[in-house]
Structure formats: C-alpha cells, structure tokens
Structure 1
C-alpha cells in the first residue's frame, strides 16, 4: 500500500509549526487542528479506511527490557502468554479469517530480539508464500532487529511490508529500553527500506514523553520516509515498569494524531493498540484527526473491539473499508463477524471493558 502523491496545495508542515500545534489541546485550538488534519486526510487518502490484522506468532521470553512490554523476560508475573512460533498452516488460516473480517494487510508478529533460527525462517517463508497465493491481503512481518540476509529471504518469499517501531523519540528512548540502541533500530528500518519493503514504522505515545518528543518522533519518521505510521497509545500492562503510568488525555492523543498527519500527509496513519483504553467511546474521532487506517481484531496480549464494531465505527463516520488490490477476489463481503476468529491465543484481557471517558472537543451526537 504505497504512499499516495500529494495533490496541489497540500504540503507537509514545518518542524516549527508541528512543535506549536502539538500543544493545541484547548477546545477551540484542537477543533481547528482536527479539521485541518481531516481535510488533508480526505484530499490525499479519500474516504476509505484500511484495516490491518495481526497474529502473535511467537510470544513471551523476550530478552529485551522494553518497559511497556508484557513479553519481556526481565519482568515477572506479567501474565503474558508464552509459546513458540506457530506453524505456517495456522498463520495462513488466521490470515484468511482476518481477510474475511475486512483486513487489507496481515502482519506476523514474533517476540524476541530477532528471528534467526533456520526452522523459524523456513516457517515464515512458507507462510508468506501461501498468504500471497491463497489470499489477497498484503503480508507484513514484525520480527525485531532483523538483518539484511534474513530480510532478503523474506522479500524473495513475497513479504511486502516490514514493521518495526522506533517506539519513541531518540531523546526519550533510554527511558524505555536499555538492551538495544536507537541506532540499531534505525539500521533495521534502513535495511528494510533498501530492500524495497514498504515501511510500517511508528511508536507508542504516553510512555512519559513530552509533547515535543512526540513531534521529534514524527520528524524522524519523515526523515526515514516511512510508508505507514502505526500510532499506539500506551495500555499499561500489569507487571511492567510502566504499569502505573497515567494515560495521556484524549485531547493529547487527538492532537498528536493530527500533527503526525500534517507532518507526513502522504503516509498512511494507522491507530493501533491502546485506542480503546485511551479514547474509550470516542475512538471514531481518530478519523477526524487524520487517521486513514486502524486495527481489526486482537492485539498481542489484549483483546480489541470485535470486527463488527470496527467496521460499524468506520461506516458511522461516512467512510468505507478500503479493499485489497484484488477486490474481486477479496474474501470480505461487507459484513464483519461479531467475534475475532484469529489471534485468539494471545489476549489475556479485554480492552472493551475500559471505562468510557468524558466527552472531548469535537464529539458529535452518537459518538459515545
């Protein structure tokens, strides 16, 4: 899903303007910022929303110490599921279920520093080849700090997107992770870009960073020329160092989304994990703030909204689900299932139980 060309009159905003706008969380300022972001999203990306489904293909026992992650071996009693890499048959079956629910992309996510075992690489190669042959979804993978030889093999198998989040701004990264460096992350992203992958690179907001550091992350992503920006909001997980962090406000979430959209108008902006917890019943405002994609199905260690709820949220905004490149073969027929039938072994909680927040600026009747 390549970036779209910018129409006349649409230009990325400057760094100076981004630093000013990120603080626009008062009612009047935020309303104007969101209206501007929505106009850019519609001008560049139209009125379609892409959906991405994932499978947690390998879970737990990660040697990295990322402070937000339940799967880190450094933290005890987090309740994260633990299992080795699932087989290719299961990955393909899950991709088919996600496609039937409206997914345009399907990402294989594995815990750990990187995937380097020959048996796991062969499993991934088989799964990617079959997903390309048996579905119309675009396969993606999130496999850690991968090296060029392994990435080349996955590219040859038909992998289209590579996902690797920077997580946060360089100036804040030391507060999030100490077991690998920011430069190692950049090396992975640049290696994937050099091989022709479409880059899916973003981060998590609400990990104690300042608003200005959110802009710093956005500007780094612009410099890297990523194709898709997955924006997550921290969902504090039990047993992690960040379990007691206070969530950022809905206004801060929406202002950051709008700034990411204006900084990179051609990129696809997806809202992924934490939207239920941080925005509650006002998740549909992510599209007003410039997002043109979101998650369908469960996350890595928690459950999301049902596919039916996600599609209903999109259509409630007068938008439609973006089809795959082969719409005539697409397994989605307009009706999403009431339950998530894939990635079911991962969730350990249910984000749908999050308490609704107070109304935020820009909410229209019926949003709650």
Structure 2
C-alpha cells in the first residue's frame, strides 16, 4: 500500500512521481480514497491554501467548426442539435465579463469554435478585451480561439489577454483516435507559441474518451513538461450525435483519483475541475476541491453547468474562499 502522506511530503520536496507511483494512484482501492485525497490536499494547501479560483466561459461562436473532434458537439461531424451562431458582437462579449464579475469569477474565458480565428473574429476579440480591461482592471481574461499564428498571439497579448487556453485533450498516442483534422503537435505548438508571446499558457485534458491509464499518466506528464500554468481537467459528458455518444466509463471515485494524480504530478499549478463535473463527480463534487483549486461556474460550451448558487454553497460548506487575486505566473506558497 502506498503511503500517500509520505508521497505528498516528498513531492513538496521536489520529488517527481515514478510510473509505479502514478499507476498506484489510479489503481488504488476505493478504501484508500480518503487518505489519497488528504495527501493531495496537503500539496494543494501548500500552494493555494483554502482558496478556489472561479472561471466563467462565454461561448462567443458556436458550431460551424471544420474540425472532426469526436467528443465535440460543435464539430463538422457532429449531429448534435446545438445552437449555432457566428461571432458575437463586442457588446455581448463585454456584457459577459460584467456577469462574470457579478459572480466573483476572477477569470473570464472568451471561447470561439473553429480551427483558428479569422481576421474579423480576432478584431472583435481584441476590441472586446480592451474594453473589458478598461472596465474590470483586475479580471484575468483568457482566450480560447483555436490554433494561432505568431502575429495573432502578439496582438492578443498587446490587447490585454492574460491567458490562452488550448487543450491537448488526450495523449499523443491516443490523439488520432479522437481527431485527425489536426495533430497533437499542432496543439502543443500553439501552447508553446502563446508562452513565447508572454501569455500565460492554459492546457488541459478530457478524461473518459476510451483512453488507457497509461494515456492518463502521459497527459499529466506532458502538461508538466509544457509548463502549463492552468490545467483544466474535463470529464467526458458524452453528447448524443457525436462519435463518443453513449460512452460512460467513469465513476466519481476514479475521477477523484485522476485529480489527485494531476495534483501530484503538477503540484504548483492551477488544477481546474471543468466540463462534466456535475454528471461524473455527482454527489462527490465537493471532494474534488481537495486536490483541485479551481472550477468553472455557470454553463459550459454546449452543456449546462450547476447553478452558481449551489457552487457558492458548496464552497461555503467546505470552508473555502473565492480567490480574487490577479493572475501571477507562479503560486505563492501559503
């Protein structure tokens, strides 16, 4: 049996998990779940205390995407009956930031479907970000617009974009099982590009897409190597009409083990429980905040989230507080 408390102390001293230790977490018996969560919390508390970062998404362009990602209701191969619309107007995007501020969301995520932004879309985002920053000086603005060109990344940085999200989604080995319209390296290169432009990199995964445990460990290690500041961990919410329709291979307990693994491998990073939180963690959602220190509030891209009042009540019941500190590159040890 792994002594998770000792493992946590070793991680805080700079130890990198071995493969045996990583797989021991994912394969751990359910009766070890509370000691595992306590150990993951030891690491999380060291860097983030009892604070939780809140993030809100604005889906500024829905559907109309030429990519063939098997999990996505917005892809060209999806038959899901979702709302489809072109890029929102600037005033709508700015109004979303005001709503995020009302909900105490420190990070506002401007998301648009598609392979990458065309000039018109980029201009709308740039103008929106400038206005948002003028009105909400301390709000972290994250953009998620697909693959970028160097000049586009530079302009987003100059406009005031603090963070850019581009998920690896799965492992390099499993990538072609999920999409073939772009490569795994395309995604990694975009994350590298935004880092080079001075934007904080955000990249995460989707768990539950028929991957192996080896794939899960590979994802966590890849994000460590990429030095992603923020790591969204999504749990597949399979949408009817997508190639992964009907996929349901996760349990709440396994999801918590995954979150703990990501905390141990990426101890200093923001670990965010993201899409699929409600349908996969279910009644165990509060336990997810012992390894993780961040959540989305409100709805996701094409699926509904939990009511914000319930999220606030969850944080209050846990004795956690909302983290409204401006974005920094590295966490401050508590």
Shared fold by TM > 0.5?
yes
Contact 2:23 2:213 in 1 (8 A): no
Tell me by how many angstroms 1:7 deviates: 12
**Cα distance change of structure 1 residues 142 and 317 upon mapping to structure 2, 3 Å threshold:** same
Aligned to 2:5: none
More helix by share: 2
Q: What is the CA–CA distance in structure 2 between the aligned matches of 1:320 and 1:249, rounded to whole Å?
A: 27
- In the alignment, is residue 293 of structure 1 matched against residue 294 of structure 2? yes
Aligned to 1:352: none
Contact 2:256 2:288 in 1 (8 A): yes
**Cα distance change of structure 1 residues 10 and 131 upon mapping to structure 2, 3 Å threshold:** farther
Aligned to 2:43: 40
For residues 31-75 of structure 1, give each alpha carbon's deviation from its aligned partner in whole angstroms, at most 9, with x where no partner exists.
222111011101111110000001000010111110000001122
Aligned to 1:316: 317
Aligned-pair RMSD on alpha carbons? Answer: 1.7
State how 1:1-368 maps to structure 2 within 5 Å.
Answer: 9-76=12-79, 78-116=80-118, 118-135=119-136, 136-288=138-290, 290-325=291-326
Tell me by how many angstroms 1:274 deviates: 0.1
Where 2:222 maps in the other structure, the secondary structure is helix
Tell me by how many angstroms 1:8 deviates: 9.9
Contact 2:17 2:264 in 1 (8 A): no
Judge which range, 85-94 or 24-33, deviates more: 24-33
Where 2:241 maps in the other structure, the secondary structure is coil
In structure 1, the gaps of 5 or more residues are 1-5, 327-368
Where 1:175 maps in the other structure, the secondary structure is helix
**Cα distance change of structure 1 residues 29 and 111 upon mapping to structure 2, 3 Å threshold:** same
Q: What is the CA–CA distance in structure 2 between the aligned matches of 1:10 and 1:132, rounded to whole Å?
A: 38
In structure 2, the gaps of 5 or more residues are 1-8, 328-334
Contact 2:16 2:265 in 1 (8 A): yes
Contact 1:15 1:219 in 2 (8 A): no
Contact 2:259 2:288 in 1 (8 A): yes
**Cα distance change of structure 1 residues 263 and 317 upon mapping to structure 2, 3 Å threshold:** same
Structure 1 segments of 4 or more deviating over 6 A? none
Q: What is the CA–CA distance in structure 1 between the aligned matches of 2:312 and 2:10, rounded to whole Å?
A: 28
Q: What is the CA–CA distance in structure 1 between the aligned matches of 2:112 and 2:125, rounded to whole Å?
A: 10
Tell me by how many angstroms 1:252 deviates: 1.1
Q: What is the CA–CA distance in structure 2 between the aligned matches of 1:54 and 1:99, rounded to whole Å?
A: 12
Where 2:318 maps in the other structure, the secondary structure is coil
Q: What is the CA–CA distance in structure 1 between the aligned matches of 2:41 and 2:32, rounded to whole Å?
A: 14
Where 1:283 maps in the other structure, the secondary structure is helix
**Equivalent residue pairs, number:** 318
Where 2:58 maps in the other structure, the secondary structure is strand
Q: What is the CA–CA distance in structure 2 between the aligned matches of 1:9 and 1:206, rounded to whole Å?
A: 29
Tell me by how many angstroms 1:9 deviates: 4.2
Q: Normalized against structure 2, the TM-score is what?
A: 0.92
Judge which range, 214-223 or 25-34, deviates more: 25-34
